[in-house]
Amino acid sequence: MYAIVEIAGQQFKVAQDQKVYVHRLKGEEGSKVTFDTIFLLDNNGTISIGAPAIKGAEVTAKILGHLKGDKVIVFKKKRRKGYIKKNGHRQALTEIQIESITASGAKKTAPKKAETKAEAPKAEAPKAAAVTKDVSSMTVAELKALAKEQGISGYTSLKKAELIEALTK
């Protein structure tokens, strides 16, 4: 039985009683930690894949110790420029031992696709059948109200001739 689990921002393939070095975790030596972000679970040939994670499944581990990784030397040089820079780094790590992998929620079914309901087309706002008044003799307020009824927005950006043509059609 193994699982692919996210621990401290990285994904690891873990099995029971396996020791893993991960980025530094909060917790004392000897304490137990649980990880619930499990992406894949293999239980004796039965593979469960999460979408994105398997609900209910978890991995329990014991913190064995905190330590530093090997020294990494970062050396930068630009030739003929007199530029040399040397830095070192040791990553803070935690050694954990996987104690158990539980698959209580492993039998997750794929989410059902929502049936697309046939929506009735929205009824359009009824337009005024005909303009009874002479548009050229209307006031600006009346033209704005008539334009709003017809669904024309932004009267100020329209020229009066274009508005008259739109309203008389």
The residue ranges of the chain whose pLDDT is under 50 are 106-110, 125-126, 128-131, 155
Closest to 127 (Cα-Cα) out of 168, 91, 157, 86? 168
Element holding 163 (H helix, E strand)? helix 160-168
**Domain count across the chain:** 2
pLDDT reported for residue 79: 96
91 and 148 in a single domain? The answer is no
15 and 73 in a single domain? The answer is yes
72 and 145 in a single domain? The answer is no
- Domain membership of residue 6 as a residue range: 2-102
Domain boundary among 80, 102, 124: 102
90 and 13 in a single domain? The answer is yes
pLDDT reported for residue 72: 97
pLDDT reported for residue 155: 46
146 and 80 in a single domain? The answer is no
**DSSP-derived secondary structure for 79-112:** TTTTEEEEEEEEEEEEEEEEEEEE-TT--PPPPP
